[in-house]
Amino acid sequence: MVAAKETALRSILEGTKQYQVPLYQRTYSWTLEQVQRLWSDVVDLTNDRMENETQTHFIGSLVLAPSPSLSPAGVQHFLVIDGQQRLTTLTLLLAAIREHRAKHEDPSHRDRINDQFLINKWQEDQPLKVLPTQKDQGAYNSWIRGVKTSGSDGGIGTASRFFQAQLLDYDDPDDPLDVDRLEAAVIDGLPGVTTFDPWPTFCSADTCSALNDGVVVYSDASHLNQAGSQLFVAPLQEALSRIAEAT
């Protein structure tokens, strides 16, 4: 059955996990305007949490499915059906925070943020916790690992450079905890509805054909992009009903 719950970014990224964006999903496409809006939301939330540390800002949905590929022992491997743009952008923001804090505060922040949120340290084959589509992997891998690239890095590079510049402006030398509070807002204050959909794994060829090439559940779940936490149930229930009718 489909399971949905409100989840903070910390719970999504901590532990030995990998979230892979399927090949049929679009490449990273957030514009600078969208990245600026996210940054503004994070700054506003950080300020609000100074008055009320439990304050949160709903970030949207993350729809996951089991990955059909073999995973290394101990790695939880998921396909990202919806929410890959937000998840990619938030990990780029964490990488920028890592670089800023390692350079301006303490080098230990690099290993801490890597190990907690960005890289599966002991998985040599595919260590990144978020694995974008193949076209984006080169640029994403460079920024997440903190390795400069000489090639074109597209929207991923634009977002990363924007975050780095904003952190320099945001960091107040008279406030040693301001970037720490901002990091806490990102990892604990941006909950979203995480939906785990096991149906694609158990969908037969005939059923998938009847369900519009096996993407009906995905299509219905994509409505979560525009829906708040009170609206995500109906589309998923509808999808499940259509599966039952087709079997």
Report CA-CA distances (Å) from 85 to 50, 69, 169, 239: 28, 22, 25, 23
What DSSP assignment string belongs to the chain?
--EEEEE-HHHHHSSSEEEE--TTS------HHHHHHHHHHHHHHHHHHHH-TT------EEEEEE-SS---TT-EEEEEEE-HHHHHHHHHHHHHHHHHHHHHT-THHHHHHIIIIIB-TT-SSS-BSEE--HHHHHHHHHHHHT---SS--HHHHHHHHHHHHHHHHH--TT-TTHHHHHHHHHHHS--EEEEE--GGGG--HHHHHHTTTTTHHHHHHGGGGT--TTSSHHHHHHHHHHHHHH-
How far is residue 105's CA from residue 86's CA, in Å, rounded to a whole number? 27
Report pLDDT for 129.
Answer: 95
Flag whether pLDDT at 99 surpasses 70. yes
Q: What is the mean pLDDT of residues 106-111?
A: 97
Report pLDDT for 153.
Answer: 87
Winning range, highest mean pLDDT, from 21-25, 33-37, 240-244 = 33-37
User: How many residues does this entry show for the chain?
Assistant: 247
Region at 60 (left for phi over 0; alpha for psi -120 to 50; beta for the rest): left
Higher pLDDT, 55 or 148: 55
Q: Per-residue confidence at 122, pLDDT binned at 50, 70, 90?
A: confident
Q: What is the mean pLDDT of residues 189-193?
A: 93
Q: Per-residue confidence at 162, pLDDT binned at 50, 70, 90?
A: very high
**Tens digit of each residue's pLDDT (9 = 90 or more) over 26-49:** 999 999 999 999 999 999 999 999
Query: How many CB atoms lie under 10 A from the CB of residue 148?
Result: 7
Global confidence as pTM? 0.79
Q: Is 226 exposed, middle or buried (0-12, 13-18, 19+ CB in 10 A)?
A: exposed
Name the average pLDDT for the chain.
81
Flag whether pLDDT at 139 surpasses 60. yes
Report pLDDT for 5.
Answer: 85
Q: What is the mean pLDDT of residues 215-228?
A: 33
Flag whether pLDDT at 54 surpasses 60. yes
Report pLDDT for 207.
Answer: 35
**Tens digit of each residue's pLDDT (9 = 90 or more) over 55-79:** 999 999 999 998 876 555 677 889 9
Report pLDDT for 110.
Answer: 97
